[in-house]
């Protein structure tokens, strides 16, 4: 499994997304599919941080907005990533920031639309130079996606294999095919003019770039906001990302193998009870936390699943 | 597939369905064509149609036609091959607590070579030409894998069953070497050379290994025979096969190979240098030796900056506690783990002390003093963020692929001062021309 790529997309393309690939039972990551075929689990943006606001009653959750030449990204950061939340709160707005983050979606119950946001993993204050580099890079990547969409539309049966033969990498080839399947019509010209407008910002001959995009549409200020927070907070809770030191990965893999073997031994027809796994593992000298970490990781990899709460089976 | 090539397959299907079937050969032909247009392998398409019209798929494939290795498609139920065994290695695996012997290796015919795995006892030797029936294929990491299962029959046959050119080496550039290639011919320069003594089955042997390169890239090599190689030689090696380790190709050859020393002018040695490889290409290859790549720093992993290492095993430790060696006095070090990403792919980059000192502008001991007087790590963390985060960097080093992705072990990292004016103009012009 390669690390999820950090896509470069403008706010306008990201916010236009109305389709996603949902993870089924924690086995695979979720992706937002943009109209140009970016298949986003992670993204990297640089823009102007315009506001940071505490939104939950306890103040654990903050919402922030980052503006680029085409629109505004919405960020939500909660108590499970206190470092990031703190660094957001510490920045005096407006300021240039670079953000690496995970894509998030919210779908109101009685609606077909999805709302996309970002859960930041890292936020650092940067300079106009970083921002200009990002605009250029994002123009280039967006153009590549447009080219890939145009090529795919020419095919009678668009498929990743043929796109890869044209030189597009696996991520993009899969994303483009998913976009063509998800969106009825893709207005490529809209994004071409988006690139052209954005590039004007950084062309040496052009007028100086206005520092801030002020027309933030506060469309998120809807009554659903409460439930949205709950949904996002729950999702964050579910996410038990294991941060293992690289040098410890090997050792951790061994632990996973031990745990897997043990489950195999005791699962029988009905599966292995969680408690007996822990107990047996503790006997072999494994620490309970480690075993639970290994179980979560094995589940993420799809090697085991939980048919009934508290019972583990091998897939 | 042309019409006259489809016909025999249509007849195959009609034969199996028998006289009672009411379907016409025209219908079968049309449906079969449709499957083929969608890229369904012929055998699978035939089996699907046989099932659809009520026939039972014979235990052995309906066709005993031989497939060429270069025509193998992933996920095919039954294929028949005639090929030479190029390498063959036993391997013990444990299945449900029982030890089982499996074999893996490479076979080749006149069209190419392919790695295989045999899940059963094999009664053939390296060098044999064998007839293989009822093997099956799977896809793994985008490549076709050939498997011999319980239903697969292998039997030794005449060398004459393969055309002569099946045994002739095929020329490759270093950049094209990938796992499973056999009978390879390369022309390359010996860049590094090591001699090692080893013992195999009680017999002492010298092995010669190192790095070879041409104008397309570099690879590792291992020779099981003393060809009197010297560092700097330009040689033509004919008859080797390729394995990979963490994505890095390794050319292996023995006394059966031919090694010719060439005039050093045969290769443009000036061009044997570090090759640039974009991140997505690197990820597809999984790893590579001595390459350059570039991207933006999108993350600086925890445990970057000042760390303590176990004096015994050099691993990074927490609270002076080594997982293997217990309580130890940690040895201070400076290192970084960066994530570098160009929007098309993402690699981790391990940066050692010297390069970290260069990038952050202070030595290990200077940082130790700074962190000691400030009482926490924030000065160095802030400096890493300021200097590196969201900056474009150029990397040089070896890239190693494993199940967690690809890691570049950096031999150099430098920050790229992007020429915004020129790059923006160039992009804008390209956009204009296309309109």
Give the pLDDT confidence of A74-109 residue by residue, as tens digits. 999 988 888 899 999 999 989 999 999 999 998 888
Does a structural domain hold residue A293?
Answer: yes
Select from A148, A176, A205 the last residue of a domain. Answer: A205
Tell me which chain A residues have a C-beta less than 8 angstroms from the C-beta of B405.
1-3
C-alpha torsion sign, points B288, B289, B294, B296? positive
Distance from C-alpha of B116 to C-alpha of B44, rounded to nearest angstrom: 21
User: Which range of residues forms the domain containing residue A122?
Assistant: 6-205
When divided into structural domains, chain B yields a total of 4
The shortest C-alpha distance from A221 to chain B (Å) reads 30
Closest partner residue to A5 among B38, B345, B423, by Cβ? B345
Instruction: Determine the pLDDT at residue A218.
Output: 41
Residue A215 pLDDT class (50, 70, 90 cuts): very low
Residues A28 and A138 occupy one common structural domain: yes
Does a structural domain hold residue A112?
Answer: yes
Mean pLDDT score, B107-114: 89
Q: What pLDDT, in 10s, does the model give residues A231-244?
A: 554 444 444 333 33
Tell me which chain A residues have a C-beta less than 8 angstroms from the C-beta of B344.
5, 141, 169, 171-172
Residues B190 and B254 occupy one common structural domain: yes
Residues B197 and B264 occupy one common structural domain: yes
Pairwise CB contact (< 8 Å): A1 & B385: no
Tell me which chain A residues have a C-beta less than 8 angstroms from the C-beta of B420.
129, 132-133, 136, 202, 204
Q: What pLDDT, in 10s, does the model give residues B280-339?
A: 999 988 999 999 999 999 999 988 999 999 998 988 998 888 888 888 999 999 999 999
Pairwise CB contact (< 8 Å): A202 & B420: yes
Distance from C-alpha of A298 to C-alpha of A308, rounded to nearest angstrom: 16
Instruction: Answer whether B274's CB lies under 8 Å from B213's CB.
Output: no
Residues A75 and A144 occupy one common structural domain: yes
Instruction: Determine the pLDDT at residue B408.
Output: 97
Closest partner residue to B427 among A8, A126, A140, by Cβ? A140
Q: What pLDDT, in 10s, does the model give residues B238-256?
A: 989 998 888 899 999 988 8
Residues A186 and A253 occupy one common structural domain: no
Mean pLDDT score, B407-424: 94
Residues B107 and B160 occupy one common structural domain: yes
A-B Cβ pairs (cutoff 8 Å, strict): 118
Pairwise CB contact (< 8 Å): B346 & A243: no
User: Which range of residues forms the domain containing residue B27?
Assistant: 3-52
Residues B291 and B408 occupy one common structural domain: yes
Does a structural domain hold residue A214?
Answer: no
Instruction: Determine the pLDDT at residue B381.
Output: 94
Residues A277 and A185 occupy one common structural domain: no
Residues B150 and B180 occupy one common structural domain: no
Residues B249 and B359 occupy one common structural domain: no
Distance from C-alpha of B251 to C-alpha of B186, rounded to nearest angstrom: 9
Task: Say yes or no to pLDDT of B63 above 60.
Answer: no
Nearest to A44 by CA among A144, A148, A123, A145: A123
User: Which CATH number covers residue B237?
Assistant: 2.40.50.140
pLDDT > 70 fraction of chain A, expressed in percent and rounded = 83
Task: Say yes or no to pLDDT of A227 above 60.
Answer: no
Does a structural domain hold residue B301?
Answer: yes
Instruction: Determine the pLDDT at residue A23.
Output: 74
Residues B19 and B124 occupy one common structural domain: no
The shortest C-alpha distance from B112 to chain A (Å) reads 20
Pairwise CB contact (< 8 Å): B299 & A247: no
Residues B344 and B411 occupy one common structural domain: yes
Q: Does A130 touch chain B (CB under 8 A)?
A: yes
Instruction: Determine the pLDDT at residue B173.
Output: 92
Residues B21 and B95 occupy one common structural domain: no
Select from B124, B149, B165 the last residue of a domain. Answer: B165
List the single residue in B with minimal CA-CA distance to A97.
Answer: B390
Mapped onto helix, strand or coil, the DSSP state of residue B77 is coil
Instruction: Answer whether B114's CB lies under 8 Å from B144's CB.
Output: yes
Instruction: Answer whether B48's CB lies under 8 Å from B16's CB.
Output: no
Tell me which chain A residues have a C-beta less than 8 angstroms from the C-beta of B337.
246
Tell me which chain B residues have a C-beta less than 8 angstroms from the C-beta of A157.
38
Closest partner residue to B298 among A6, A126, A247, by Cβ? A6
Residues A256 and A195 occupy one common structural domain: no
Does a structural domain hold residue B64?
Answer: no
Mean pLDDT score, A15-36: 86
Q: Does A189 touch chain B (CB under 8 A)?
A: no
Does a structural domain hold residue A159?
Answer: yes
Q: What pLDDT, in 10s, does the model give residues A170-211?
A: 899 999 999 999 998 899 999 999 999 999 888 876 554 454
Task: Centre a 10 Å sphere on the Cβ of residue A63 and count the other Cβ atoms it contains.
Answer: 21
Does a structural domain hold residue A227?
Answer: no
* A69 exposure class (CB count in 10 Å sphere: 0-12, 13-18, 19+): buried
Closest partner residue to B431 among A4, A161, A196, by Cβ? A196
Mutate to test the interface with B, among A1, A4, A6, A250 (most CBs of B within 10 A): A6
Q: Does A98 touch chain B (CB under 8 A)?
A: yes
Residues B9 and B42 occupy one common structural domain: yes
The shortest C-alpha distance from B58 to chain A (Å) reads 31
Tell me which chain A residues have a C-beta less than 8 angstroms from the C-beta of B390.
44, 46, 98, 124, 126, 130, 133-134
Task: Say yes or no to pLDDT of B167 above 90.
Answer: no
Instruction: Determine the pLDDT at residue B183.
Output: 85
When divided into structural domains, chain A yields a total of 2
Closest partner residue to B316 among A170, A247, A249, by Cβ? A247
User: Which CATH number covers residue A56?
Assistant: 2.40.50.140
Closest partner residue to B424 among A6, A141, A202, by Cβ? A202
Select from B131, B165, B199 the last residue of a domain. Answer: B165
Task: Say yes or no to pLDDT of B201 above 50.
Answer: yes
The shortest C-alpha distance from B403 to chain A (Å) reads 6
Residues A194 and A307 occupy one common structural domain: no
The shortest C-alpha distance from A107 to chain B (Å) reads 27
Stronger pLDDT, A230 or A261, i.e. the higher one? A261
Instruction: Determine the pLDDT at residue A25.
Output: 61
Residue B434 pLDDT class (50, 70, 90 cuts): confident
Q: Does A199 touch chain B (CB under 8 A)?
A: yes
Does a structural domain hold residue A215?
Answer: no
Nearest to B294 by CA among B391, B216, B219, B383: B391
Does a structural domain hold residue B355?
Answer: yes
Does a structural domain hold residue A237?
Answer: no
Instruction: Determine the pLDDT at residue B301.
Output: 93
Residues A251 and A172 occupy one common structural domain: no
Tell me which chain B residues have a C-beta less than 8 angstroms from the C-beta of A5.
341, 343-346
Tell me which chain A residues have a C-beta less than 8 angstroms from the C-beta of B347.
3
Task: Say yes or no to pLDDT of B2 above 80.
Answer: no
Pairwise CB contact (< 8 Å): A251 & B431: no
Does a structural domain hold residue A24?
Answer: yes
Mean pLDDT of all residues belonging to chain A: 82
Q: What pLDDT, in 10s, does the model give residues A235-276?
A: 444 443 333 344 456 677 777 888 888 888 888 777 888 778
Distance from C-alpha of A193 to C-alpha of B71, rounded to nearest angstrom: 45
Mutate to test the interface with A, among B95, B279, B294, B298 (most CBs of A within 10 A): B298
Beta bridge partners of B274: none
Task: Centre a 10 Å sphere on the Cβ of residue B361 and count the other Cβ atoms it contains.
Answer: 9
Instruction: Determine the pLDDT at residue B21.
Output: 73
**What DSSP assignment string belongs to B361-412?**
TS-HHHHHHHHHHHSSSHHHHHHHHHHHTT-EEEEEEEEEEETTEEEEEEEE
Q: Does A132 touch chain B (CB under 8 A)?
A: yes
ipTM: 0.71
Residue A216 pLDDT class (50, 70, 90 cuts): very low
Instruction: Determine the pLDDT at residue A270.
Output: 77
User: Which CATH number covers residue A288?
Assistant: 1.10.10.10
Pairwise CB contact (< 8 Å): A98 & B390: yes
Residues B173 and B159 occupy one common structural domain: no
Stronger pLDDT, A234 or B211, i.e. the higher one? B211
Residue A14 pLDDT class (50, 70, 90 cuts): very high
Mutate to test the interface with A, among B313, B390, B392 (most CBs of A within 10 A): B390
Does a structural domain hold residue B59?
Answer: no
Residues A135 and A55 occupy one common structural domain: yes
Residue A224 pLDDT class (50, 70, 90 cuts): very low
Does a structural domain hold residue B57?
Answer: no
Residues B288 and B386 occupy one common structural domain: yes
Distance from C-alpha of B227 to C-alpha of B322, rounded to nearest angstrom: 45
Nearest to B81 by CA among B68, B71, B93, B72: B68
Select from B228, B250, B270 the last residue of a domain. Answer: B270
Tell me which chain B residues have a C-beta less than 8 angstroms from the C-beta of A199.
424, 427-428, 431
Chain B, 272-301: which have a CB under 8 Å from a chain A CB?
Answer: 280, 283-284, 296, 298-301
Pairwise CB contact (< 8 Å): A124 & B389: yes
Instruction: Answer whether A96's CB lies under 8 Å from A124's CB.
Output: no
Mean pLDDT of all residues belonging to chain B: 88
Written as six digits, the tokens of B142 are 């985008």
């Amino acid at each position: 499994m390669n690390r999820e790529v950090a896509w470069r997309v403008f706010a306008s393309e990201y916010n236009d997304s109305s389709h996603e690939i949902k993870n089924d039972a924690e086995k695979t990551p979720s992706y937002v599919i943009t109209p140009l075929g970016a298949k986003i689990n992670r993204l990297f943006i640089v823009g102007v941080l315009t506001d940071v606001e505490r939104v939950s009653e306890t103040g654990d959750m903050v919402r922030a907005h980052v503006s680029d030449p085409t629109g505004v990204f919405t960020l939500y950061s909660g108590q499970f990533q206190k470092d990031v939340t703190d660094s957001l709160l510490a920045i005096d707005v407006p300021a240039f920031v670079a953000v690496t983050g995970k894509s998030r979606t919210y779908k109101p119950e009685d609606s077909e639309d999805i709302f996309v946001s970002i859960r930041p993993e890292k936020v650092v204050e940067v300079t106009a130079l970083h921002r200009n580099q990002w605009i250029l890079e994002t123009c280039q990547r967006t153009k590549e996606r447009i080219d890939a969409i145009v090529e795919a539309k020419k095919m009678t049966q668009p498929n990743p294999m043929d796109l890869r033969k044209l030189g597009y990498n696996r991520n993009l080839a899969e994303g483009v095919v998913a976009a063509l399947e998800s969106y009825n019509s893709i207005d490529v010209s809209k994004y071409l003019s988006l690139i052209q407008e954005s590039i004007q910002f950084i062309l040496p001959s052009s007028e100086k770039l206005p520092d801030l995009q002020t027309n933030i549409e506060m469309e998120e200020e809807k009554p659903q906001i409460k439930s949205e927070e709950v949904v996002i907070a729950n999702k964050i809770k579910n996410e038990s990302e294991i941060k293992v030191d690289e040098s410890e990965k090997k050792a951790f893999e061994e632990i996973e193998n031990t745990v897997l073997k043990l489950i195999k031994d005791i699962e029988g027809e009905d599966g292995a009870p969680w408690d007996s796994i822990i107990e047996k593992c503790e006997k072999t000298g494994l620490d309970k936390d480690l075993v639970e970490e290994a179980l979560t990781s094995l589940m993420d990899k799809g090697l085991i699943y939980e048919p009934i709460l508290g019972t583990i089976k091998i897939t | 597939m042309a019409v006259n090539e489809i016909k025999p397959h249509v007849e195959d299907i009609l034969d199996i369905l028998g006289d009672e079937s009411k379907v016409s050969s025209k219908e079968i032909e049309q449906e079969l064509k449709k499957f083929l247009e969608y890229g369904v392998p012929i055998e699978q398409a035939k089996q699907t149609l046989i099932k659809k019209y009520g026939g039972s798929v014979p235990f052995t494939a309906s066709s005993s036609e031989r497939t060429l290795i270069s025509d193998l498609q992933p996920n095919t139920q039954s294929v028949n091959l005639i090929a030479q065994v190029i390498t063959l290695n036993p391997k013990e695996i444990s299945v449900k607590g029982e030890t089982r012997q499996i074999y893996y290796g490479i076979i080749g015919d006149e069209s190419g070579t392919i790695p295989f795995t045999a899940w059963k006892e094999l009664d053939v030797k390296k060098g044999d030409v064998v007839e293989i029936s009822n093997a099956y294929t799977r896809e793994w990491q985008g490549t076709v894998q050939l498997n011999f299962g319980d239903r697969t029959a292998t039997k030794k046959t005449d060398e004459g069953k393969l055309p002569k050119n099946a045994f002739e080496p095929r020329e490759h550039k270093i950049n094209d070497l990938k796992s499973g290639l056999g009978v390879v011919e390369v022309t390359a320069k010996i860049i590094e050379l090591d001699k090692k003594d080893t013992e195999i089955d009680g017999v002492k042997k010298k092995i010669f290994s190192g790095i070879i390169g041409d104008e397309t890239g570099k690879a590792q090599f291992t020779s099981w025979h003393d060809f009197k190689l010297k560092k700097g030689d330009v040689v033509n090696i004919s008859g080797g096969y390729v394995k990979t380790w963490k994505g890095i190709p390794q050319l292996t050859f023995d006394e059966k190979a031919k090694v010719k020393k060439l005039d050093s002018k045969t290769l443009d040695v000036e061009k044997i240098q570090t090759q640039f490889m974009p991140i997505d290409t690197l990820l597809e290859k999984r790893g590579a030796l001595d390459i350059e790549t570039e991207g933006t720093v999108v993350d600086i992993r925890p445990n970057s900056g000042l760390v303590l290492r176990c004096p015994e095993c050099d691993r990074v430790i927490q609270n002076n506690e080594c997982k293997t060696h217990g309580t130890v006095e940690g040895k201070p070090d400076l290192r970084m783990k960066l994530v570098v990403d160009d929007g098309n792919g993402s690699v981790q980059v391990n940066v050692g002390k010297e390069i970290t000192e260069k990038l952050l502008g202070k030595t290990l001991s200077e940082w130790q003093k700074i962190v000691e007087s400030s009482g926490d790590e924030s000065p160095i963390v802030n400096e890493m963020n300021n200097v590196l985060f969201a900056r474009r960097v150029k990397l040089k080093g070896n890239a190693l692929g494993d199940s967690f992705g690809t890691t570049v072990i950096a031999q150099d990292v430098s920050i790229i001062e992007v020429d915004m004016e020129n790059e923006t103009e160039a992009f804008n012009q390209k956009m204009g021309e296309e309109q």
